[in-house]
């Protein structure tokens, strides 16, 4: 493994990660409310619903990954 402590600007990277995490946390409620809305689920074509579900899964995965990166950088 290569030590990362001297290779990155820790504060700048933490700020970048925080910004990405904030964007995802802002997007999640919008998608969740769509998928929890019976009217949307009943009227939207199945492919649109599948697309929104895939987007939600992707955002949750990205959020988890970014939070793990944030913890690793904090521990440097």
Integer Cα distance of 15 and 66 in angstroms: 12
pLDDT 10s digit of each residue in the chain, 76 long?
Answer: 556 666 778 999 999 999 999 999 999 999 999 999 999 999 999 999 999 999 999 999 999 999 999 999 999 8
At residue 19, the pLDDT reads 98
| Superfamily (CATH) of domain 10-74 | Valyl-tRNA synthetase, C-terminal domain (1.10.287.380)
Domain spans of the chain, in order of start? 10-74
pTM score, whole prediction: 0.85
DSSP 44: S
At residue 37, the pLDDT reads 98
Query: Which sign, positive or negative, has the C-alpha torsion 8, 11, 16, 22?
Result: positive
């Amino acid at each position: 493994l290569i030590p990362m402590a001297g290779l990155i600007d820790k504060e700048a990277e933490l700020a970048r990660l925080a910004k990405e995490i904030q964007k995802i946390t802002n997007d999640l409620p919008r998608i969740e409310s769509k998928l929890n809305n019976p009217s949307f689920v009943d009227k939207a074509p199945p492919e649109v619903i599948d697309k929104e579900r895939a987007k939600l899964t992707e955002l949750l995965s990205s959020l988890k990954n970014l939070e793990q990166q944030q913890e690793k950088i904090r521990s440097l």
